[in-house]
A and B are shown apart, each in its own frame.
Chain A
Amino acid sequence: MENTNKLTKAQIDELATYCEDAELKQQEITKVTDKYPDMTYRDAFDVQWEVRRRKVARGHKVVGMKMGLTSWAKMAQMGVEQPCYGYLADYFSVPEGGEIKMDELIHPKIEAEIAFVTKAPLKGPGIHIGDVLRATDFIIPAVEVIDSRYKDFKFDLKSVIADNSSSSRFITGGRMALLEDVDIKNLGVVMEINGEIVATGAGAAVLGHPAASVAMLANMMGERGEEIPAGTFIMTGGITAAVTVNRGDSINIRYQDLGSITAKFI
Chain B
Amino acid sequence: MNKELIQSCGDELYQAMVEGKAIGPLTERHPTMSIEDAYQISLRMLERRLAAGEHIIGKKIGVTSKAVQDMLNVHQPDFGYLTNTMAFNQGEEMPISQMLMQPRAEGEIAFILKKDLMGPGVTNADVLAATDCVMPCFEVVDSRIEDWKIKIQDTVADNASCGLFILGDQAVSPTKVDLATCGMVVEKNGSVISTGAGAAALGSPVNCVAWLANTLGHFGIPLKAGEVILSGSLVPLVPVKAGDHMSLSIGGMGNASVRFV
- Which residues of A are interface residues toward B (Cβ below 8 A)? 72, 183, 185-190, 197, 200-205, 208, 239, 254-257
Contacts and interface: CB of A to CB of B under 8 A. Distances in A.
B157 interface: no
Interface in B210-259: 234, 249-252
B177 to A, nearest CB: 9
Interface string B184-205: 1100000110011111100100
B168 to A, nearest CB: 13
Interface of B: 66, 178, 180-185, 191-192, 195-200, 203, 234, 249-252
Contacts of A72: 191-192
Contacts of B249: 185-186
B192 A208 contact: yes
A203 B27 CA distance: 41
B180 A202 contact: no
Given A188-B251, A203-B195, A256-B251, 13 more contacts: A186-B183, A186-B184, A186-B249, A190-B199, A200-B196, A200-B198, A201-B183, A202-B197, A203-B183, A205-B185, A205-B192, A256-B181, A256-B252
Nearest to B180: A190
Contact of A256 (B182, B191, B203): B182
Given A186-B249, A190-B199, A200-B197, A256 B192 contact: no
14 contacts: A72-B192, A186-B183, A188-B197, A188-B251, A200-B198, A201-B183, A201-B197, A202-B184, A203-B183, A204-B183, A256-B183, A256-B197, A257-B178, A257-B252
B181 A188 contact: yes
Given A188-B181, A188-B184, A189-B181, A202 B195 contact: yes
